Amino acid sequence: MTVAGAGFCLARIGAISGATDAREAFDQVIIPAVTKTVQQSPTQEGGDVAWNTSYQLSALVEMLTATRDSRYAALIVKLGDWIARARDDQQQLRDAFRDQILPAWSSTNYSAGKRYTWAVHTGMIAAPLAQFAALVRRDARLELKWGAAAGRLLQTATAAVAVHDTDYREGPGSDEGHLYSHYLQQAVPLNMQNALARAWLAIDDATGTPAHRHRIARLARFLKHRLRPTADGAYVWAYWPPLEGAADSFEDISHAAINVDFMVLCQEHGIVFTREDLLRLEKTLLNRVLCAGDQISNTVGGGEKFNDYRSSVLLWGRLGRHVPAVHERLKQFSQSSSLSHADPAWLLGFAYLSLPPSAN
């Protein structure tokens, strides 16, 4: 489950032609991409929505955050309503493991051909829907025009994440929590649970309540306790650490981008992670992942294998809001002529790099 290989074209390189030309290039791709998507029948594969369409939606939400350009709001609503029509309850698709028709997006791609609703898919799709609602409710001008649509999309996100209420488990540590998979019959990898946690966080932002704060904080501690500090001041971690004990493997940088984004969002909300943690992630990226000559390590640990997830490094872009060296290095990398533009990571990477720097 990674963005590698999914695709449509983004012909951007910001600083080469200037910010205006970069925005025009973004628009020239995102507008026809959304138009093409919403003209199609809703898919019956939630994995396709999660690992492709959700990147279009997330990119639009981040660009709306950065620019307040209402053209992006119109595209978000079009795409969000199409995504809502792709839910299982709209297509009468039954989750084989829960034996229910659910208001979420199941898939047969990763569960031996049987239909299953993965928490990671729900999180990837629901988070930008709720982020849009949170943004609209903080902006009186956007609220006036898009408030009703934002409320509708927030309801879609809220109903979807509720599907996974019974997936949550306390522990194993006294201050930790994790997610359980009915298909895997065990705890899920880090990125899967933190994708859902990002959606919880966005829903709480939109509703102005801490309804999910307890679970978010416990998943954040679960993650933090499994980060391994290194001698060079970085963090490394495994894709799927055990509930108990240490792990000595390394997560690939594509799935790791979800965990990095979750850590940054937690820091921005004052949950578990601190600026010191972000500075350790800076060292992970600049010392171990994004190497000289634009060689991109396959994993957060660095090593001898490179470039299988090359453009996914741009999905670490929210970290650049807080660490100027990260922003500049990723911006420089984004201008590499060797990069393929046929990758959804380009859209979201461009949007992350367009966000204003953090005040803290």
- Model confidence at 346, pLDDT cuts 50, 70, 90, reads confident
pLDDT over threshold 70, residue 218: yes
What total number of domains does the chain contain?
A: 1
Residue 8, in any domain of the structure = no
CATH number of the domain at 184, please.
1.50.10.10
* Element of type H or E holding 33: helix 19-38
Q: What's the mean pLDDT in 179-207?
A: 98
Q: Looking at residues 253-278, what average pLDDT do you find? A: 98
pLDDT for residue 16: 34
How many CA atoms lie within 13 Å of 19's alpha carbon, on the beta-carbon side?
A: 7
Answer positive or negative: Cα dihedral of 239, 242, 243, 246. negative
Residue 312 inside a domain? The answer is yes
> Is the peptide bond prior to 324 cis by the omega test (within 30 degrees of 0)?
no
- What pTM was computed for the model? 0.94
Domain assignment of residue 34, yes or no: yes
The answer as to whether 5 is a domain residue is: no
Supply the pLDDT for residue 341: 56
Kind plus residue range of the DSSP H or E element containing 258: helix 253-268
CA angle 319, 297, 261 (to 5 degrees): 25
9 located within any domain: no
Q: Computed over its alpha carbons, how large is the radius of gyration of the chain?
A: 19
Q: Do β-strands 100-101 and 168-170 pair in parallel, antiparallel, or remain unpaired?
A: unpaired
- Mode of pairing for the β-strands spanning 94-95 and 228-229: unpaired
In a domain, 280, yes or no: yes
305 is in which domain, residue-wise?
A: 14-354
Q: Is the pLDDT of residue 333 over 50?
A: yes
Classify strands 228-229 and 100-101 as parallel, antiparallel or unpaired.
unpaired
Residue 207 lies in a domain: yes
273 in Cβ contact with 219 (< 8 Å): no
Question: Among 226, 230, 221, 220, which residue's Cα sits nearest to residue 239?
Answer: 226
